[in-house]
Amino acid sequence: MDITVPRVRFAPSPTGLMHLGNVRAALLNYLFAHKNKGIFVLRIEDTDVERNCDPNAQKIIHDLNWLGLTPQEGPIQGGPYAPYFQSQRTHLYQEQIDHLKELGHIYRCFCTAEELEKKRQRQIALKQPPRYDRTCLHLPAEKITELIAEKIPFIWRVKLDHAQTVTIHDLAHGDIHFELKNFSDFAITRQDGSFTFMFANFVDDMLMKITHIFRGEDHLSNTAGQAALYTIYKLKLPIYYHLPIICNIDGKKLSKRDFGFALDDLQQAGYLPEAILNYLTIIGGGVFAEEIMTLPELAQAYNFDNISSTGHIRYDVEKLRWINHKWIERLEPAMLTAYAKPFIIAAFPQAEVLSDDALTSLIQTIKSDITCLKDVAHLMHFYFNEPQNTAALLKEHIPQEVLPDLQAIIKKHLPEMDDAKLFVENIKREAKLTSISIKHLFTYLRIALMDAPQGPGIVELITMLGTDQARKRLQATL
């Protein structure tokens, strides 16, 4: 195998939505390729037709592009090892089946699913490890011929050398040894003649000259069988990195019930792709001098030579929210408006008539409070809807004994509102003279203007609403 140019691959199955686990697998493959001037390959494992809910992997490809993890080889880009859909590579798998037949390393298994399950249950009852008992390995040639003539369904199994130990090198765990006597002769075909994940995955990695395989730790058991196949072919094994499982804050494997498990959750809530990638790189990735980094910076900063061997990492939504906020702070005003506009219009269709310049001005006023783009609609609710709860809020936040004097000051200076700064300076000065707290004054104004005790500065609020609307709202509370 030529290892002068590192080759990694992301090989998702289009049977469900992209989730954080496979996003992280794609990301680390991408980072490794770009850090080491290698090739990042996208290969679609679409042989399970019944479960395929993403025809032609359009959603997967769209999501990778949205994240900025565009492969150098794949279904769209093409490449020297095309095709990149497993469903189009059947002839290649059959060629390797024929080759293994010639080598004598596979055999037909005629056991039915019911027979195999009975054997498995018996082994469990006897407290034995459940594995195939090689019933069909020793069938006489004439019996095999007879069963084939009777058209009895069969699968092909790999004949493992139970005296052999295969060793892989894992970037996190170092050398891992598999004694093949502890593993079953695994199936490489199904009874309908299709090929199993174990086999197709190995053949593709071999033919595409993949040098490094980064995938979830849940694939570790598959690795033993695939390593045995590399040994049968007398090929150098790839280097592995079995990625820690992402768990929720309680330490349980992340599932559909957890917010953010699916990439769609985060997209719909308004998390930026830069923030998602930034977060997924730094969790479980060692110590970084800086936490907020671009994709090229992440590639350079990630240390693949010093990886923690932890079996799982915690997914902390609050940390992700903080990183997303930091990325929103970095956005140029026009870019933030472009990102936020769909969320605003979805909540307030009347916003469609506002110019981008007007929207930008409004969004910049509340920018410091935006954690994710979906927040923008909540933060701008007051702009599109006049206050409804002022009486209750004033009672809750303003001492009743200061209310008459406070209102008198505001009423006196309402004619000056055309100059928002002058208006605020004058009411502040007079509030001090009458020993009214500036905090109470500004709380009153915010409640009157936006139906909330906290928010943007008063000058900014009046500017956002416009003098006429601001005066109308204040008059309604006086």
Give the torsion through C-alpha atoms of 107, 109, 110, 112, to 10 deg: -170
CA distance 44 to 307: 28
Contacting residues for 221 by C-beta, under 8 A, at least 6 apart? none
pLDDT at 257: 85
What's the one-letter identity of residue 121? Q
Q: Is the pTM of this model over 0.75?
A: yes
Domain map (residue ranges) of the chain: 386-477
pLDDT digits (tens, 9 = 90+) for 231-286: 999 999 999 999 999 998 888 888 888 888 899 999 999 999 999 999 999 998 77
Coil/strand/helix, residue 309: coil
Strands (E) located in 171-218: 174-179, 212-216
Q: Quick one: DSSP state of residue 236?
A: P
Q: Which backbone phi and psi does 187 adopt, to 5 degrees?
A: -80, 140
pLDDT at 312: 82
Q: How many CB atoms lie within 10 A of CB 151?
A: 7
CA distance 231 to 189: 20
Report residues of the chain scoring pLDDT below 50: 1-3
Nearest Cα residue to 26 out of 61, 50, 57: 61
pLDDT at 1: 37
Nearest Cα residue to 139 out of 173, 111, 168: 111
pLDDT at 3: 46
pLDDT digits (tens, 9 = 90+) for 400-434: 999 999 999 999 999 999 999 999 999 999 999 99
Q: What is the CATH number of domain 386-477?
A: 1.10.10.350
